[in-house]
Structure 1
Protein backbone atom coordinates (compact mmCIF):
# COMPACT_ATOMS: atom_id res chain seq x y z
CA UNK A 1 0.00 0.00 0.00
CA UNK A 2 1.16 3.54 -0.77
CA UNK A 3 2.77 5.30 2.23
CA UNK A 4 0.58 8.39 1.79
CA UNK A 5 -2.53 6.18 1.84
CA UNK A 6 -1.35 4.44 5.02
CA UNK A 7 -0.68 7.75 6.77
CA UNK A 8 -4.01 9.12 5.52
CA UNK A 9 -5.83 6.13 7.01
CA UNK A 10 -3.96 6.54 10.30
CA UNK A 11 -4.77 10.25 10.29
CA UNK A 12 -8.49 9.50 10.08
CA UNK A 13 -8.23 6.88 12.82
CA UNK A 14 -5.96 8.64 15.32
CA UNK A 15 -5.83 12.40 14.68
CA UNK A 16 -8.59 13.17 17.21
CA UNK A 17 -6.75 11.24 19.93
CA UNK A 18 -3.50 13.02 19.14
CA UNK A 19 -5.30 16.36 19.05
CA UNK A 20 -6.68 15.68 22.53
CA UNK A 21 -3.23 14.64 23.74
CA UNK A 22 -1.79 17.99 22.63
CA UNK A 23 -4.66 19.97 24.18
CA UNK A 24 -3.92 18.57 27.61
CA UNK A 25 -0.17 18.27 27.19
CA UNK A 26 0.95 21.67 25.92
CA UNK A 27 -2.02 24.02 25.84
CA UNK A 28 -4.31 24.74 22.92
CA UNK A 29 -2.39 27.22 20.79
CA UNK A 30 -1.40 25.84 17.40
CA UNK A 31 -2.58 22.30 18.23
CA UNK A 32 -3.71 21.69 14.65
CA UNK A 33 -0.19 22.51 13.41
CA UNK A 34 1.31 20.08 15.90
CA UNK A 35 -1.04 17.29 14.83
CA UNK A 36 0.02 17.93 11.23
CA UNK A 37 3.67 17.82 12.32
CA UNK A 38 3.11 14.35 13.80
CA UNK A 39 1.80 13.03 10.51
CA UNK A 40 4.51 14.76 8.49
CA UNK A 41 7.12 13.05 10.66
CA UNK A 42 5.21 9.79 10.28
CA UNK A 43 5.37 10.06 6.48
CA UNK A 44 9.10 10.77 6.63
CA UNK A 45 9.74 7.92 9.06
CA UNK A 46 7.31 5.31 7.79
CA UNK A 47 10.12 3.13 6.45
CA UNK A 48 11.47 2.85 10.01
CA UNK A 49 8.12 1.64 11.38
CA UNK A 50 8.63 -2.09 11.77
CA UNK A 51 5.21 -3.00 13.11
CA UNK A 52 6.56 -4.09 16.52
CA UNK A 53 3.91 -1.88 18.10
CA UNK A 54 0.56 -0.61 16.91
CA UNK A 55 0.43 2.42 14.58
CA UNK A 56 -1.39 4.30 17.38
CA UNK A 57 1.46 3.67 19.81
CA UNK A 58 4.03 4.73 17.22
CA UNK A 59 2.11 7.92 16.42
CA UNK A 60 1.76 8.79 20.12
CA UNK A 61 5.53 8.36 20.51
CA UNK A 62 5.99 10.84 17.69
CA UNK A 63 3.39 13.18 19.27
CA UNK A 64 5.19 13.07 22.61
CA UNK A 65 8.48 14.01 20.90
CA UNK A 66 6.74 16.82 19.01
CA UNK A 67 5.31 18.09 22.31
CA UNK A 68 8.74 18.02 23.96
CA UNK A 69 10.26 19.87 20.99
CA UNK A 70 7.49 22.48 21.08
CA UNK A 71 7.90 23.08 24.81
CA UNK A 72 11.66 23.51 24.38
CA UNK A 73 11.10 25.89 21.47
CA UNK A 74 8.67 27.98 23.51
CA UNK A 75 11.11 28.17 26.40
CA UNK A 76 13.94 29.25 24.09
CA UNK A 77 11.77 31.89 22.43
CA UNK A 78 10.60 33.15 25.79
CA UNK A 79 14.19 33.84 26.86
CA UNK A 80 15.36 35.22 23.52
CA UNK A 81 12.85 38.02 23.19
CA UNK A 82 13.83 41.15 25.07
CA UNK A 83 11.45 42.10 27.85
CA UNK A 84 10.65 45.43 26.17
CA UNK A 85 9.32 43.61 23.12
CA UNK A 86 7.11 41.34 25.19
CA UNK A 87 4.96 44.07 26.72
CA UNK A 88 2.26 44.08 24.05
CA UNK A 89 2.70 40.52 22.80
CA UNK A 90 0.12 37.89 23.64
CA UNK A 91 1.78 34.85 25.25
CA UNK A 92 2.33 31.86 22.98
CA UNK A 93 0.42 29.53 25.26
CA UNK A 94 -2.49 31.90 25.82
CA UNK A 95 -5.74 30.04 26.42
CA UNK A 96 -8.26 31.33 23.92
CA UNK A 97 -11.86 32.06 24.91
CA UNK A 98 -13.04 29.59 22.26
CA UNK A 99 -11.06 26.84 23.92
CA UNK A 100 -12.72 27.46 27.28
CA UNK A 101 -16.18 27.78 25.74
CA UNK A 102 -15.78 24.22 24.45
CA UNK A 103 -14.99 22.91 27.92
CA UNK A 104 -17.54 22.40 30.64
CA UNK A 105 -16.68 23.45 34.21
CA UNK A 106 -15.43 20.01 35.21
CA UNK A 107 -13.13 19.79 32.22
CA UNK A 108 -11.77 23.29 32.86
CA UNK A 109 -10.81 22.32 36.38
CA UNK A 110 -9.34 19.03 35.17
CA UNK A 111 -7.35 20.79 32.45
CA UNK A 112 -5.88 23.36 34.85
CA UNK A 113 -5.12 20.68 37.44
CA UNK A 114 -3.31 18.47 34.95
CA UNK A 115 -1.29 21.44 33.71
CA UNK A 116 -0.10 22.10 37.26
CA UNK A 117 1.40 18.61 37.65
CA UNK A 118 4.95 17.63 36.77
CA UNK A 119 5.67 16.46 33.23
CA UNK A 120 5.76 12.69 33.86
CA UNK A 121 2.43 12.84 35.68
CA UNK A 122 0.85 14.88 32.87
CA UNK A 123 2.09 12.42 30.25
CA UNK A 124 0.82 9.32 32.01
CA UNK A 125 -2.55 10.85 32.95
CA UNK A 126 -3.16 11.97 29.38
CA UNK A 127 -2.09 8.69 27.83
CA UNK A 128 -3.71 6.29 30.30
CA UNK A 129 -6.56 8.34 31.77
CA UNK A 130 -7.71 10.53 28.91
CA UNK A 131 -6.62 8.65 25.79
CA UNK A 132 -7.28 5.28 27.48
CA UNK A 133 -4.13 3.58 26.24
CA UNK A 134 -3.10 0.29 27.83
CA UNK A 135 -0.21 0.03 30.26
CA UNK A 136 1.83 -1.68 27.56
CA UNK A 137 1.10 1.02 24.96
CA UNK A 138 2.00 3.79 27.41
CA UNK A 139 5.23 1.94 28.32
CA UNK A 140 6.27 1.83 24.66
CA UNK A 141 5.44 5.51 24.09
CA UNK A 142 7.23 6.71 27.22
CA UNK A 143 10.05 4.16 26.95
CA UNK A 144 9.30 2.97 30.49
CA UNK A 145 8.77 -0.45 32.03
CA UNK A 146 5.19 -1.63 32.65
CA UNK A 147 5.83 -1.36 36.40
CA UNK A 148 6.99 2.24 36.11
CA UNK A 149 3.86 3.06 34.10
CA UNK A 150 1.62 1.50 36.74
CA UNK A 151 3.34 3.15 39.71
CA UNK A 152 3.62 6.56 38.04
CA UNK A 153 -0.02 6.41 36.95
CA UNK A 154 -1.04 5.59 40.53
CA UNK A 155 1.03 8.49 41.92
CA UNK A 156 -0.24 10.84 39.21
CA UNK A 157 -3.87 10.00 40.01
CA UNK A 158 -3.21 10.71 43.70
CA UNK A 159 -1.51 14.01 42.86
CA UNK A 160 -4.40 14.96 40.59
CA UNK A 161 -6.86 14.03 43.30
CA UNK A 162 -5.04 16.34 45.72
CA UNK A 163 -5.11 19.13 43.11
CA UNK A 164 -8.84 18.66 42.66
CA UNK A 165 -9.37 18.81 46.42
CA UNK A 166 -10.13 15.12 46.92
CA UNK A 167 -8.86 12.87 49.65
CA UNK A 168 -5.48 11.16 49.50
CA UNK A 169 -6.15 7.58 50.58
Structure 2
Protein backbone atom coordinates (compact mmCIF):
# COMPACT_ATOMS: atom_id res chain seq x y z
CA UNK A 1 0.00 0.00 0.00
CA UNK A 2 2.66 2.52 1.07
CA UNK A 3 5.08 1.74 -1.75
CA UNK A 4 2.36 1.86 -4.42
CA UNK A 5 1.08 5.22 -3.13
CA UNK A 6 4.61 6.68 -2.98
CA UNK A 7 5.33 5.28 -6.47
CA UNK A 8 2.20 6.98 -7.76
CA UNK A 9 3.27 10.27 -6.13
CA UNK A 10 6.77 9.85 -7.55
CA UNK A 11 5.42 9.67 -11.09
CA UNK A 12 3.12 12.63 -10.47
CA UNK A 13 5.55 14.97 -8.72
CA UNK A 14 9.19 13.96 -9.24
CA UNK A 15 9.83 16.51 -12.00
CA UNK A 16 8.35 19.35 -9.96
CA UNK A 17 10.39 18.31 -6.92
CA UNK A 18 13.48 18.15 -9.17
CA UNK A 19 12.94 21.69 -10.49
CA UNK A 20 12.24 23.02 -7.01
CA UNK A 21 15.51 21.55 -5.72
CA UNK A 22 17.50 22.92 -8.69
CA UNK A 23 16.37 26.43 -7.77
CA UNK A 24 16.69 25.84 -4.06
CA UNK A 25 20.15 24.26 -4.10
CA UNK A 26 21.57 26.02 -7.14
CA UNK A 27 22.77 22.88 -8.82
CA UNK A 28 21.28 20.69 -11.51
CA UNK A 29 22.81 17.64 -9.82
CA UNK A 30 19.86 16.95 -7.51
CA UNK A 31 18.79 13.46 -8.60
CA UNK A 32 19.99 11.96 -5.31
CA UNK A 33 18.10 14.61 -3.38
CA UNK A 34 14.87 13.81 -5.25
CA UNK A 35 15.35 10.19 -4.25
CA UNK A 36 16.00 11.29 -0.67
CA UNK A 37 12.66 13.16 -0.66
CA UNK A 38 10.78 10.01 -1.59
CA UNK A 39 12.80 7.84 0.81
CA UNK A 40 11.84 10.23 3.61
CA UNK A 41 8.24 10.10 2.38
CA UNK A 42 8.26 6.30 2.65
CA UNK A 43 9.82 6.43 6.12
CA UNK A 44 7.39 9.11 7.30
CA UNK A 45 4.29 7.91 5.50
CA UNK A 46 2.54 7.05 8.76
CA UNK A 47 2.93 10.70 9.84
CA UNK A 48 1.12 11.95 6.72
CA UNK A 49 -2.32 12.89 8.00
CA UNK A 50 -3.92 13.97 4.74
CA UNK A 51 -4.54 17.51 6.04
CA UNK A 52 -2.64 18.83 3.03
CA UNK A 53 -2.30 17.45 -0.46
CA UNK A 54 0.44 14.88 -1.13
CA UNK A 55 2.12 17.50 -3.33
CA UNK A 56 2.44 20.05 -0.52
CA UNK A 57 3.60 17.35 1.90
CA UNK A 58 6.31 16.27 -0.57
CA UNK A 59 7.38 19.88 -1.21
CA UNK A 60 7.70 20.35 2.54
CA UNK A 61 9.96 17.30 2.70
CA UNK A 62 11.91 18.59 -0.33
CA UNK A 63 12.45 21.93 1.39
CA UNK A 64 13.91 20.19 4.44
CA UNK A 65 16.11 18.00 2.22
CA UNK A 66 17.30 21.18 0.49
CA UNK A 67 18.06 22.89 3.80
CA UNK A 68 20.04 19.83 4.93
CA UNK A 69 21.99 19.78 1.65
CA UNK A 70 22.83 23.50 1.85
CA UNK A 71 24.11 23.02 5.41
CA UNK A 72 26.13 20.00 4.32
CA UNK A 73 27.67 21.95 1.44
CA UNK A 74 28.52 24.87 3.71
CA UNK A 75 30.26 22.53 6.16
CA UNK A 76 32.17 20.98 3.27
CA UNK A 77 33.27 24.41 2.01
CA UNK A 78 34.50 25.38 5.47
CA UNK A 79 36.48 22.15 5.71
CA UNK A 80 37.98 22.77 2.27
CA UNK A 81 38.93 26.33 3.19
CA UNK A 82 40.65 25.14 6.34
CA UNK A 83 42.44 22.32 4.53
CA UNK A 84 43.42 24.37 1.49
CA UNK A 85 43.94 27.80 3.04
CA UNK A 86 45.75 29.30 0.10
CA UNK A 87 43.55 27.78 -2.61
CA UNK A 88 40.28 29.30 -3.72
CA UNK A 89 37.20 27.21 -2.85
CA UNK A 90 34.88 25.88 -5.52
CA UNK A 91 35.40 27.94 -8.68
CA UNK A 92 32.24 26.79 -10.46
CA UNK A 93 29.84 29.60 -11.28
CA UNK A 94 26.06 29.26 -11.34
CA UNK A 95 26.05 29.38 -15.15
CA UNK A 96 28.54 26.51 -15.31
CA UNK A 97 26.54 24.50 -12.81
CA UNK A 98 23.10 25.13 -14.24
CA UNK A 99 24.07 25.82 -17.88
CA UNK A 100 21.24 28.30 -18.19
CA UNK A 101 20.79 31.06 -20.69
CA UNK A 102 21.70 34.58 -19.57
CA UNK A 103 18.21 35.57 -18.33
CA UNK A 104 17.75 32.42 -16.28
CA UNK A 105 21.23 32.82 -14.84
CA UNK A 106 20.47 36.41 -13.79
CA UNK A 107 17.13 35.35 -12.30
CA UNK A 108 18.87 32.51 -10.47
CA UNK A 109 21.45 34.94 -9.04
CA UNK A 110 18.75 37.41 -8.02
CA UNK A 111 16.72 34.67 -6.27
CA UNK A 112 19.82 33.33 -4.53
CA UNK A 113 20.68 36.82 -3.25
CA UNK A 114 17.34 37.07 -1.41
CA UNK A 115 17.09 36.27 2.28
CA UNK A 116 15.88 32.72 3.00
CA UNK A 117 12.19 33.51 3.65
CA UNK A 118 11.94 35.55 0.46
CA UNK A 119 13.77 32.89 -1.55
CA UNK A 120 11.48 30.13 -0.25
CA UNK A 121 8.28 31.98 -1.09
CA UNK A 122 9.54 33.16 -4.52
CA UNK A 123 10.50 29.62 -5.54
CA UNK A 124 7.24 28.08 -4.32
CA UNK A 125 4.79 30.80 -5.42
CA UNK A 126 6.53 32.53 -8.31
CA UNK A 127 8.52 29.76 -9.95
CA UNK A 128 6.68 26.56 -9.00
CA UNK A 129 3.32 28.40 -9.05
CA UNK A 130 1.92 26.76 -5.93
CA UNK A 131 -1.17 28.28 -4.35
CA UNK A 132 -1.04 30.47 -1.26
CA UNK A 133 -2.50 27.66 0.85
CA UNK A 134 -0.05 25.07 -0.52
CA UNK A 135 2.87 27.42 0.14
CA UNK A 136 1.60 28.16 3.65
CA UNK A 137 1.36 24.46 4.36
CA UNK A 138 4.89 23.74 3.09
CA UNK A 139 6.46 26.63 5.00
CA UNK A 140 4.23 26.19 8.06
CA UNK A 141 3.14 29.83 7.79
CA UNK A 142 -0.24 31.52 7.76
CA UNK A 143 -1.68 32.35 4.35
CA UNK A 144 -1.45 36.03 5.22
CA UNK A 145 2.28 35.71 5.97
CA UNK A 146 2.74 34.02 2.57
CA UNK A 147 0.97 36.87 0.78
CA UNK A 148 2.89 39.60 2.60
CA UNK A 149 6.28 37.90 2.28
CA UNK A 150 5.69 37.13 -1.41
CA UNK A 151 4.75 40.75 -2.07
CA UNK A 152 7.87 42.00 -0.27
CA UNK A 153 10.07 39.46 -2.05
CA UNK A 154 8.70 40.54 -5.44
CA UNK A 155 9.42 44.18 -4.58
CA UNK A 156 12.98 43.23 -3.65
CA UNK A 157 13.41 41.30 -6.91
CA UNK A 158 12.08 44.25 -8.93
CA UNK A 159 14.61 46.54 -7.25
CA UNK A 160 17.45 44.14 -8.04
CA UNK A 161 19.85 44.77 -10.91
CA UNK A 162 17.75 42.79 -13.45
CA UNK A 163 14.45 44.34 -12.38
CA UNK A 164 12.74 40.93 -12.41
CA UNK A 165 9.03 40.36 -12.10
CA UNK A 166 7.30 37.00 -11.85
Query: TM-score, with normalisation over the residues of structure 1?
Result: 0.87
Unpaired runs of 5+ in structure 2?
none
SS in 2 for 1:50: coil
2 CA distance for matches of 1:153 and 1:73?
27
Q: Report the equivalent of 1:8.
A: 7
Shift of the 164–9 alpha-carbon distance from structure 1 to 2, 3 Å rule, reads farther
2 CA distance for matches of 1:26 and 1:98?
11
Give the structure, 1 or 2, with the largest relative contact order (CA under 8 Å, sep 6 or more): 1
Unpaired runs of 5+ in structure 1?
none
Q: 1:18 Cα deviation (Å)?
A: 0.9
Out of 128, 131, 139, the position equivalent to 1:131 is 128
Answering whether residue 157 of structure 2 is matched by residue 148 of structure 1, we say no
Q: 1:163 Cα deviation (Å)?
A: 1.3
Deviation per residue, 1:4-58 (Å, 9 max, x gap): 1111111111111111111111111531111111001001111111111000000
Deviation per residue, 1:85-123 (Å, 9 max, x gap): 3766863975463621xx232212111110111111110
**Backbone CA RMSD of aligned residues:** 2.4
The size of the alignment, in residue pairs, is 165
Query: TM-score, with normalisation over the residues of structure 2?
Result: 0.88
